[in-house]
Amino acid sequence: MPEDFTLYNLLKWSHILSAFLLFGTGLGSAFYKYMADRSGDLHAQVITARHVVLADWLFTTPTVIYQPISGWLLLRELGISLNEPWVILAFALYILAGLCWLPVVRLQILMRNLADEALQKGQPLPKEYRRLARFWFWLGWPAFVSLVLAVWLMVAKPDLSVLWS
């Protein structure tokens, strides 16, 4: 085994890869769903909604679970306290993102089901779909910004002790 193959390096690599998957799947799914919805093409909306729900289960859910676990293990490996202000803020932002993401998952499932039903019945999407899509869109912003800020905190590890004084 190479000398640089350590538990820390494995954790760091997997934590970063997991973050890439979380951001990439989230941003990609949001982009394709938003564009399919804007197209007005019911077939595109149905297929995209199905794939977005599947991507959440296959990629986003495991990374959402793995990120705090690997983050905690990395902190432990580095001897960084969970009481560091930047750590507390990073975890708080992660929780905020999760609180936005959970209803987003539910909304995606509801929209997928509404789109499937409309296609099967040969009808246009109900107005409820558009209402849910707007709510889904606006919930994505605080989740995305929170995750970007959390990643910045993890990389920069700023001294935020003045905030806790």
- Distance in angstroms (rounded) separating the CA atoms of residues 59 and 33: 16
Q: Where are the domains of the chain?
A: 7-164
**pLDDT of 76-99, one tens digit each?**
999 999 999 999 999 999 999 999
Burial (Cβ within 10 Å: 0-12, 13-18, ≥19) of residue 37? buried
What predicted TM-score, i.e. pTM, was given to this entire model?
A: 0.88
Determine the pLDDT at residue 1.
46
